Amino acid sequence: MNRTKVTFNREKLDFSCEIVRALAHPLRLKILEFIDQNRRINVNKIYNTLEIEQSITSQHLRILRMAGLVFAERNGKFIHYTLNYRALEVAETAIDHFYGRP
């Protein structure tokens, strides 16, 4: 039996794990869906509409931002969020390929 050497680029693996972890939380998925429905939305509207505490919303948005899944843009005292559709498409394709779906 041939043995294959297993090597991973640690930096890419760490970043991939961060993305999958960000997507694995039901509340973060709900936030992503809400941003998608509104295209561009401020944090106040997110937590008020979804009835989530402001601090919890901010924590989840920080995780999504760090994973590169959302963009944050400051406009005066408000921060508006938009989705990084390219990053989400890449993540979806990678997950589908991992599980053998076309």
CATH number for the domain spanning 39: value is 1.10.10.10
pLDDT digits (tens, 9 = 90+) for 39-60: 999 999 999 999 999 999 999 9
pLDDT under 70 in the chain at which residues?
1, 101-102
Domain region containing 60: 25-98
13 part of a folded domain: no
Would you say residue 77 lies in a domain?
A: yes
Domain membership of residue 9 (yes or no) is no
15 located within any domain: no
Number of domains in the chain: 1
Using alpha carbons, list the distances in angstroms from residue 71 to 8, 11, 61: 28, 22, 10
What is the pTM assigned to this prediction? 0.86
Residue environment code for 50-74, b if the CB has 16+ CB neighbours within 10 A, otherwise e: eebeeeebeebbebbbebbbbeeee
